[in-house]
Amino acid sequence: MITGGGRARPHAREVTRYLSSLSARQLGRRQEAAERAISEMGVTFTVYSEGQNIDRAWPFDIIPRTVSASEWQRVEHGLQQRLTALNAFVDDVYNDQRIVKDGKVPAELLETSENYLPECVGIRPPHGAWAHICGSDLVRDADGTIYVLEDNLRVPSGVSYMLENRIVTKQVFPELFSRNRILPVDDYPSQLFDTLASLSPRPLDYPVVVVLTPGIYNSAYFEHSYLAQSMGVALVEGGDLTVGDDDCVYMRTIAGLERVDVIYRRVNDTFLDPECFRPDSLLGVPGLMRAWRAGNVGIANAPGAGVADDKLVYAFVPDIIRYYLDEEPVLPNVPTLACVRDDERDRVLADLDNLVVKPVNESGGYGMLIGPMATRKAVAQFRRLIKTNPRNYVAQPVLSLSTAPTLIGGTLSPRHLDLRPFTLHGERQFVTAGGLTRVALVEGSLVVNSSQGGGSKDTWIVQSGDES
């Protein structure tokens, strides 16, 4: 929002001018109003703590994060390019494996992946799309470069909070929306429905779409119910669905069985079908994979899409883009060292104190080592873990993440943040105008996840007069 010289950037001038006109007390009242609205709207997230599920009000900072529309055009293009290439990769992995045969990706990378599902071999879903909803985590470094930190292709969450953040901000700062040209985000539910509808095996104007949730104790249940309601579709659990002798999926209703065309699943792969994966799963639907393989139901995201969600695969994404699209990546990766490679593992072990080390299949900021902030004991522990299972770890430099003004104790203070925009891929692609900005509320912290004390901001893609 502010340059190094203390001046407002062009797309943030109106916002900073207005905020400067408010006293600390007035800002505090706006923050209190936002928190009341969040409480009244029931916007919550769940933290798993000591075996208990604790619902907490969504942590929200009223100071918006601003991005220029001209810069966002490039980001949008880069996200579309990235998801197109990743979908081509997943489709190739489960079919011809050309990229392996051509030596661009090592076979052992797939053979040792926890997210590779042999049950998906030979399937070709509609539009060649396996990941229909992708939540990419972006960060800006000290030099202004926007990097893709990771791709989330299995069951990415957070979009409901993006939508709620906008609703609350409009209530808190209605005057700013009349003074700025801020691109809207409220069309996401209709775009999501259109994406899901494009997967229907039946040529219907309004196919039967459902959202499959693990249930009320899942940490993202608020989002599951929010999106189902926003799209006007049924929210179901595994027990609400059944697969008939015709290999079609049906929903149990008070009027009898109703055929389901598309399932937006928020259940992890191995719990989807007890016939095919975990036999003890009570969250899935027996026979669901059989129905999907037969082409009688669409599933988003498709089972098996997570093979491209591996942080080790992430290291190869630039090569994947070049291989399938014959293009240079628009958005760069953070430089990544793969511990499975001997030379790169040696570099990681020699420099653990200065690197961020991540397990390849964890999310939410769990299981990481941030070298400069870690204790000697933690560093020693990770040294042992890497030597024991090098395939499970990658390392990256500690980025000097950008900051934005954040209201802390009544005072505006800089806090580190990231951004998760959402990209849809069906008959066509769609990228949200902005996304979920997550902010580390603890001074100096680089961990932005809400489950670990982070908060969020509304993200404004601002179109200035010279961009019209």
pLDDT one-digit tens code per residue, 64-83:
999 999 999 999 999 999 99
Q: How many C-beta atoms surround the C-beta of residue 369 within 10 A? A: 22
Query: Is pLDDT at 114 greater than 60 in this prediction?
Result: yes
Handedness of CA 157, 158, 160, 162 (dihedral sign): negative
Q: What is the pTM of this model?
A: 0.92
Upper half-sphere CA count for residue 65 (Cβ side, 13 Å): 30
Look at residue 47 in the predicted model and tell me its pLDDT. Answer: 57
Q: What is the mean pLDDT of residues 228-252?
A: 98
Look at residue 54 in the predicted model and tell me its pLDDT. Answer: 58
More confident call, 2 vs 233: 233
Most confident of 164-178, 214-228, 230-244: 230-244
Q: How confident is the model at residue 468 (pLDDT cuts 50, 70, 90)?
A: very low
Q: How far apart are CA 30 and CA 164, in angstroms?
A: 16
Q: How confident is the model at residue 400 (pLDDT cuts 50, 70, 90)?
A: confident
Q: What is the 3-state secondary structure (H, E, C) of 426-467?
A: CCCEEECCCCEEEEECCCCCCCCCHHHCEEEEEEEEECCHHH
Look at residue 112 in the predicted model and tell me its pLDDT. Answer: 83
Look at residue 324 in the predicted model and tell me its pLDDT. Answer: 98
Q: How far apart are CA 95 and CA 302, in angstroms?
A: 15
pLDDT digits (tens, 9 = 90+) for 123-153: 999 999 999 999 999 999 988 999 999 899 9
Look at residue 57 in the predicted model and tell me its pLDDT. Answer: 73
Contact yes or no for 192/424 (Cβ under 8 A): yes
In 387-422, which positions are buried (b, 16+ CB within 10 angstroms) versus exposed (e)? eeebbbbbbbeebebbbbbbbeeeeeeebbbbbbbb
More confident call, 447 vs 244: 244
Q: What is the mean pLDDT of residues 106-121?
A: 89
Look at residue 204 in the predicted model and tell me its pLDDT. Answer: 83
More confident call, 212 vs 366: 212
Look at residue 118 in the predicted model and tell me its pLDDT. Answer: 94
Domain ranges for the chain: 202-296
More confident call, 115 vs 322: 322
Look at residue 108 in the predicted model and tell me its pLDDT. Answer: 83
Look at residue 65 in the predicted model and tell me its pLDDT. Answer: 95
pLDDT digits (tens, 9 = 90+) for 288-324: 999 999 999 999 999 999 999 888 899 999 999 999 9
Query: Is pLDDT at 49 greater than 70 in this prediction?
Result: no
Look at residue 106 in the predicted model and tell me its pLDDT. Answer: 87
pLDDT digits (tens, 9 = 90+) for 416-451: 999 999 999 999 999 999 999 999 988 888 777 766
Q: What is the mean pLDDT of residues 5-24?
A: 91
CA distances from 374 to 16, 188, 336, 381, 394 (A): 36, 40, 20, 11, 17
Look at residue 109 in the predicted model and tell me its pLDDT. Answer: 85
Look at residue 447 in the predicted model and tell me its pLDDT. Answer: 74
- The CATH code of domain 202-296 reads 3.40.50.11290
Average of per-residue pLDDT values in the chain:
91
More confident call, 39 vs 167: 167
More confident call, 271 vs 451: 271
Q: How confident is the model at residue 50 (pLDDT cuts 50, 70, 90)?
A: very low
Percent of the chain with pLDDT over 90: 74
pLDDT digits (tens, 9 = 90+) for 191-230: 999 999 999 999 888 999 999 999 998 888 999 999 999 9
Q: What is the mean pLDDT of residues 407-420?
A: 91
